[in-house]
Structure 1
Amino acid sequence: MKVKILLCCLFILMLSNCGSSKKTVKSKTKTTHKEIESKVENLPDVHGDEHIDKLEEGSKRLNENSLEYIKKYAAIAVREMHLHSIPASITLAQGVLESGSGRSELASKSNNHFGIKCHTDWQGKRVYHDDDEKGECFRKYKYVSSSFKDHSLFLTQRKRYAFLFTYRVTDYKKWAKGLRKAGYATDPRYPAKLIRIIEDYKLHDFDRIKQDGFKYESNIEEGEEDNNEEVHFYTVKKGDTLYSIARKFKVSVARLKQINNLRDNIININQVLKTE
């Protein structure tokens, strides 16, 4: 009898110990980098109104939505050309084609004018659309200008597009064919479509606009997050290496790779790098 009582006491004691030794499991929170978008306000005068007026005076019938799109975004395309050496004609033609002159669902709801998908390095907002496959992930922007900027970074920071920057900024035909060759689009008629848009709307005129000392600034909109740190950029020149750039700006190679989302040490001429 005493043995039974003793066993019962031990059993109760074990239960109480188990209850008191339960650990509290804390949920893990994943920290993601918040993309800070800024609205571009200071833009060069590209005489967009005059350009459109001349086109409308011509005998060729052109799409009104495309004319309006070019008039609205030509200055941003020229800005990106001056900063990243991508022909303004190519950027505008891609915008017209990829976004349906800004009227596609992806452009109108997500400000994504170039059909750029999320990929593994994207940490900004996302939206899902059917494209080559069902429910594919695309990037979402607060401003259209952010889409133009991201388009430039998309081309300058991927080595498969590096050979494009050996072409002159005025050689839109080579750029159009090169984009298809690099895999930007799967449509075999993609280069011809871009070239036709450029020539129909005389977008090559914008490729000849010089910067002439015009200085670009990025302004944070009121109410946006601002980290109060000045961001510096450097355009890669012939003979540069990550090591030489790191020494020049007194940062480590590892840090350069981190802030520029580089997976290896390969950089290309005209590639724009953050240097802190």
Structure 2
Amino acid sequence: MSALAAGCSIHRYLIEQVLGSGAFGIVYLAQHKSLGYQVVIKEYLPQALAARVNGEVMPLNATVTEVYQQSLQRFALECETLLTLNHDNIVYVYDCFYASGTAYMVMHFETGSTLWQSYVGQVQQQQRPFNWQQLAKVLPGVFAGLHYMHQRQIVHRDIKPGNIFLRAGAVVHPLLIDFGAVKQAGGYASQYAQNTPAYSALEQEYGIYPIGPWTDVHALGVMIIELLTMQRPDTAYQRQQAVTAGLDDPISQQLRYLATLTDAGVVHALYGATRLDPAQRIQSIYDFKAALPAFA
């Protein structure tokens, strides 16, 4: 993907470097031109719909123009919604603006690393996954941030270790980041909605069930299983295919293995959090937290 170059001016900011990119956009480190502070800027640039041409982001062709414009408006509305959030476990969004044919989200710059980076570092150095005591220090802040969002009818829809940032410092302080996928609760999935298939719930794959807090519960449950076992569960689609074929849900085998590593109460809660049918799943972050053993 063609990223903006270092030194490029966009709105009130100067681009310093690319921090990352994905199927739905590019994330930059930038500096406010007049005030000098650093920010993180997310540029909406979905690869399936648009490309940069002579400095302007444009739909790939006429057939996707309407979809791109609708997706762009949705991104901007989501950004405006995030401007209203103020919580200690959610990265602060400063600004949203349109430029060069697309939209941009401006967030507070944090120092630290993602939960995924911390996990990979431990696996590489110690050849072992996280244990429950380690995760129990991170989860309260994640629960708090998600509960705050859900109370405001906002669903993150892309919870994963790479979207939980651990602020640098002596105390574990998680922040929910990367809100390109937030959605008002009660809506249905779009084929162009951002998500990560490994953690996505069935309602995000098929779009036949409404999106809600239970959608983030599923992703969080899958994430915890992976970080405790070093095994990423099959996608919800793959699991559904197995069940349709008359087989056990593949995640059951991982939960049985997890039962040999940690408290049975943790395993029982994760079973409830990762049910394929959203109606059978734990419905809220509050209930998920209550189902887990007391945090260390």
Same topology, TM > 0.5: no
Larger radius of gyration: 1
| Richer in strand (by share) | 2
Greater relative contact order (Cα 8 A, min sep 6): structure 1 or 2?
A: 1
TM-score interval for Structure 1 and Structure 2 normalised by the shorter chain:
under 0.3
